[in-house]
């Protein structure tokens, strides 16, 4: 506890994220506490908040006080005094709910009971005879979450004259997974090197670490996996555990637990054993000893994330055992300490008839065989974070197993660091998908929040897009997806539009025209990328290895399912992967009536058509166009959308911070060029099979297919 107070004292005395610089470089994220531009709102808020107090003095309470101090002074443009007791109308009071709280008599007990260990209540009440705004919770972290929510109301200029907010997270574990390596690189990282400086830890504690914790706490994220799933086992040595413990000390006041990716062969590599077989008593003892050692450094260590038997990583299959056998080995080791294991379902072999079916085939038979402190972490789609995939059929297929979602916030297949893509619509598309596991309304969201199958250990993870770039995410709009992930992890029922509205107001401006313009741009951004990359259910046609740029011609990998041609299957007759009964029969992994809908050429949603069907080039679509023409129009529509985004953004010059405006202007210029590149390369390549002309009225490619095939990017960011 003393160590934590030292860390807080160090950082809270430094310049805050809330301090306004001469130009905005994006470092402050959505926690910009500049003076509210609407004078009427400033007056209204000053009358409602004449003073404030937070009960208690723990590190978490001190964090809440610090946030209120800098935010109220900044947003309202004057010093709002901190007081120690309620003396007059117009005070803001925060603290945990106890029988001795000054607001205990305000009738809050029944409301506070409902919000659990992390939720909060915000309302206007009489306290000691005075009109006050009360923020309370069962725990101190609940109070901190409530403070951030209240500040969000002020930042977005909401009405606070009549408050009655009861909020709690629907999902227990809300995680960021960092694919950061010990050498400072980041796999699939497009915002610079890792934010963790392992060389200078544990002694040198960057201000950035606590700003990271503040940002995550502001949106309810409560866990961070610090290292890459392709794990270097040295992270579990004493040398590195001291460094991990230092980060845990910084994060603890903000309700964030640290987790580590474990290498399944750690007993061999670190323990110098001859085997990592889960049935070997010596291996079991090694993991128990290692868990004991980790918890001696980090008493509230969260547990392990494991990638096993996938893409060269070791695992239980090496010993003829199941994935459950491997997961339960580690789960037993951390269980005495309250730890959990997140076991990734991203497991496949290289020569499968249909790679998209494999996770289901491997894990479905294991339902009910995982320990109760294991969560099976499943990607949103059955393949690999594509711009659009149907949801993974494992959601709805394993009612006896704790399942958690894995989204990718870093945009490995969505333009990486140069494209503007707001990912909330992708997240929502998956969460709202109906599995039909228990009839209509059995959505993926209900699977992962535990309500469908009565699970209490629930989770959602996002592969982080955070790096050492000053603005955290490279392209500042990447911050919107980090923000959206946190908000949806807290409440999956929020809409993409609601979240975009909040983020725009907190990041750029509360001006209605600015908000409306940027929101329109954001809401079309994901569909634009899908159109110029992977329309109508196409997938995995990216450049080999780096996944940057188009590569539908890739057919030289030694692993068939690493070739683009494996997925699009274009030939002289048509295009698409037949996953109906006449093909791989992947449709049978879904519950009726969805399985029948996907299997029907006429009923399959157009957005998944080529995912489930091999379709003739001259097939007549519902639009009246041939499939070939439809594909072309989608590719061209994607480019048109990016150009429209450029127009919208250019119209905002002078209405938002000029540095932020100019940065995005340049990114959109890059994106427009890349969109044209994708469109031209793909249309020209697929035309070699269709033998059909590009529809009249569409601009013709200005380069040859051979030109596009010759492009190489050996040092593209995120290359592994």
CA nearest neighbour of 398 among 326, 323, 321, 318: 323
Task: Give domain limits for the chain.
Answer: 33-167, 173-506, 530-577+614-710
pLDDT at 101: 83
Any residues with CB less than 8 A from the CB of 540 and at least 6 apart, and which?
Answer: 383, 384, 386, 564, 566, 567, 568
Which residues is 407 bridged to in the sheet? 462
Residue bearing the bigger pLDDT, 334 or 127: 334
Average pLDDT over residues 48-55: 96
Domain 33-167 has CATH 3.30.379.10: yes
**CA angle 421-28-521, nearest 5°?**
25
Residue bearing the bigger pLDDT, 8 or 378: 378
CA gap 102, 333 in Å, rounded: 44
Rounded to 10 degrees, what is the CA torsion of 179, 183, 185, 188? -30
How many C-alpha atoms does 108 have within 13 Å on its Cβ side?
A: 32
CA distances from 616 to 277, 476, 574, 585, 687 (A): 50, 41, 4, 19, 13
For residue 394, is pLDDT > 50? yes
Q: Which CATH architecture has domain 530-577+614-710?
A: Alpha-Beta Complex (3.90)
Label residue 9 by pLDDT band (50, 70, 90). low
16 and 70 in contact (C-beta within 8 Å)? Answer: yes
Any residues with CB less than 8 A from the CB of 216 and at least 6 apart, and which?
Answer: 176, 222, 224, 254, 256, 486
pLDDT in tens, 135-165: 999 999 999 999 999 999 999 999 999 999 9
For residue 5, is pLDDT > 70? no
Residue bearing the bigger pLDDT, 714 or 690: 690
For residue 18, is pLDDT > 50? no
For residue 693, is pLDDT > 50? yes
For residue 105, is pLDDT > 90? no
The share of the chain scoring above pLDDT 90, in percent, equals: 91
pLDDT at 86: 83
pLDDT at 129: 86
Label residue 545 by pLDDT band (50, 70, 90). confident
For residue 2, is pLDDT > 80? no
Q: What is the pTM of this model?
A: 0.97
239 and 255 in contact (C-beta within 8 Å)? Answer: no
For residue 578, is pLDDT > 50? yes
Looking up tokens 């080995």 gives 329
pLDDT at 370: 98
Average pLDDT over residues 252-273: 98
Residues annotated as part of the active site: 311, 384, 412
Q: Which CATH architecture has domain 173-506?
A: Alpha-Beta Barrel (3.20)
- Token pair listed for 583: 């093909």
CA gap 450, 152 in Å, rounded: 28
pLDDT at 15: 40
Average pLDDT over residues 662-680: 98
Kindly report the backbone phi and psi dihedral angles of residue 206, in degrees, each rounded to the nearest multiple of 5, phi listed first: -70, 145
Residue bearing the bigger pLDDT, 99 or 618: 618
pLDDT at 107: 73
């Amino acid at each position: 506890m003393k160590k934590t107070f030292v860390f807080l004292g160090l950082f809270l005395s430094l310049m805050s994220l809330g301090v306004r610089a001469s130009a905005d470089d994006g470092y402050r994220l959505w926690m910009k506490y500049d003076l509210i531009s609407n004078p009427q709102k400033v007056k209204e808020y000053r009358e409602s908040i004449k003073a404030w107090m937070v009960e208690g003095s723990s590190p978490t309470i001190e964090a809440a006080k610090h946030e209120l101090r800098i935010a109220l002074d900044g947003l309202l443009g004057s010093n709002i005094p901190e007081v120690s007791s309620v003396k007059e109308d117009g005070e803001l009071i925060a603290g945990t709910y106890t029988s001795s709280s000054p607001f205990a008599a305000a009738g809050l007990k029944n409301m506070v009971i409902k919000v659990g260990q992390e939720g909060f209540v915000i309302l206007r009440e009489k306290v000691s005879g005075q009109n006050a705004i009360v923020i309370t919770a069962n725990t101190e972290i609940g109070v901190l979450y409530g403070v951030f929510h209240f500040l969000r109301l002020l930042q977005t200029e909401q009405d606070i004259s009549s408050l009655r907010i009861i909020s709690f997270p629907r999902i227990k574990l809300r995680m960021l997974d960092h694919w950061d390596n010990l050498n400072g690189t980041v796999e699939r990282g497009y915002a610079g090197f890792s934010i963790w400086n392992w060389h200078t830890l544990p002694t040198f504690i960057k201000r950035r670490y606590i700003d990271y914790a503040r940002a995550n706490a502001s949106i309810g994220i409560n866990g961070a996996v610090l290292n890459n799933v392709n794990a270097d086992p040295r992270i579990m040595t004493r040398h590195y555990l001291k460094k991990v413990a230092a980060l845990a000390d910084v994060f603890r006041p903000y309700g964030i637990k640290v987790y580590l990716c474990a290498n399944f062969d750690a007993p061999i590599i670190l323990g110098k054993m001859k085997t990592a077989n889960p049935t070997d008593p010596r291996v079991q003892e090694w993991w128990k000893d290692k868990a004991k050692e980790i918890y001696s450094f980090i008493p509230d260590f969260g547990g392990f994330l494991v990638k096993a038997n996938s893409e060269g990583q070791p695992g239980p299959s090496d010993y003829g055992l199941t994935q459950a056998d491997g997961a339960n080995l580690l789960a037993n080791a951390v269980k005495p300490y309250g730890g959990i294991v997140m076991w990734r379902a991203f497991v496949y072999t290289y020569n499968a008839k249909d790679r998209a079916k494999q996770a289901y085939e491997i894990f479905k038979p294991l339902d009910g065989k995982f320990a109760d402190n294991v969560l099976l972490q499943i990607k949103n789609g059955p393949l690999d974070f594509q711009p659009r995939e149907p949801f993974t059929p494992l959601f709805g297929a394993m009612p006896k197993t704790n399942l958690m979602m894995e989204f990718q916030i870093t945009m490995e297949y969505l333009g990486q660091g140069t494209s503007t893509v707001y990912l909330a619509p992708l997240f929502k598309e998956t969460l709202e998908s109906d599995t039909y596991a228990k009839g209509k309304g059995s959505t993926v969201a209900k699977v992962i929040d535990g309500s469908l199958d009565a699970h209490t250990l629930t989770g959602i993870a996002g592969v982080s897009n955070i790096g050492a770039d000053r603005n955290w995410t490279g392209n500042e709009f990447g911050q919107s997806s980090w923000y959206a992930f946190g908000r949806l992890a807290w409440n999956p029922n929020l809409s993409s539009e609601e979240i975009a509205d909040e983020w725009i107001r907190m990041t750029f401006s509360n001006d209605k025209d600015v908000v409306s313009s940027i929101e329109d741009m954001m809401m079309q951004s994901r569909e634009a990328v899908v159109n110029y990359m992977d329309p109508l259910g196409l997938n995995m046609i990216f450049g080999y290895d780096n996944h940057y740029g188009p590569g539908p011609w890739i057919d030289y990998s030694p692993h068939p399912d690493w070739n683009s041609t494996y997925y699009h299957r274009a030939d002289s007759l048509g295009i698409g992967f037949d996953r109906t009964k006449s093909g791989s029969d992947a449709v049978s992994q879904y519950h009726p009536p969805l399985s029948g809908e996907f299997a029907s050429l006429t009923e399959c949603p157009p957005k998944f058509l080529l995912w489930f069907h091999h379709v003739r080039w001259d097939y007549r679509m519902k639009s009246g166009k041939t499939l070939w023409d439809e594909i072309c129009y989608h590719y061209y529509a994607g480019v048109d959308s990016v150009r429209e985004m450029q127009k919208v953004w250019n119209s905002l010059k002078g209405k938002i911070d000029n540095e932020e405006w100019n940065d995005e202007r340049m990114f959109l210029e890059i994106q427009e060029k890349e969109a044209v590149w994708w469109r031209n390369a793909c249309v020209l390549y697929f035309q070699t099979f269709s033998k059909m002309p590009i529809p009249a009225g569409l601009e013709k490619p200005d380069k040859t297919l051979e030109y596009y095939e010759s492009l190489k990017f050996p040092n593209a960011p995120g290359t592994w």
